[in-house]
Structure 1
Amino acid sequence: MSNDIYSGLTQLGSAAAIPQNPDEAVLERVANPQAGQHYAVRFTAPEFTSLCPMTGQPDFAHLVVDYVPGDWLVESKSLKLFLFSFRNHGAFHEDCTVTIGRRLADLLEPQWLRIGGYWYPRGGIPIDVFWQTGATPADLWIPDQGVPTYRGRG
Structure 2
Amino acid sequence: MSKSQDKTSHLQTLGAGGQTTYQMDSPNPGILEAFPNNYPGRPYVVSISFPEYTSLCPMTGQPDFGTIAMEYIPDQKIVESKSFKLYMFAYRNHQSFMETLANKMLDDFVEVLDPLWCRVKGLFAPRGATDLHVFAEYYKQDSSQYEQVKGIVSEWKQEVGKHSA
> TM-score under structure 1 normalisation?
0.84
Q: Contact 1:42–1:67 at 8 Å: present in 2 too?
A: yes
What is residue 87 of structure 1 aligned with on the other side?
92
2:111 alignment partner, SS class: helix
Matched, 1:16 2:20: yes
Alignment identity in percent?
A: 35
Is the helix fraction higher in 1 or 2?
A: 2
> TM-score under structure 2 normalisation?
0.79
Q: Deviations over 1:19-42 (max 9, x none)?
A: 221038511111111221111000
Runs of 5+ in structure 1 lacking a partner?
A: 149-154
CA RMSD of aligned residues (A): 2.1
Q: Deviations over 1:97-138 (max 9, x none)?
A: 111111001111111011111111222221110111038621
CA separation of 1:71 and 1:24: change in aligned 2, threshold 3 A: closer
How many pairs does the alignment contain?
A: 145
Q: Deviations over 1:73-117 (max 9, x none)?
A: 011111110001001111111111111111001111111011111
Runs (4+) of structure 1 moved beyond 3 Å? Answer: 145-148
Q: Counterparts of 1:13 and 1:103 in 2: how far apart (Å)?
A: 22
Matched, 1:137 2:150: yes
Q: From 36, 40, 46, give the equivalent of 1:41.
A: 46
Matched, 1:110 2:110: no
Higher mean alpha-carbon deviation, 49-58 vs 139-148, is at 139-148
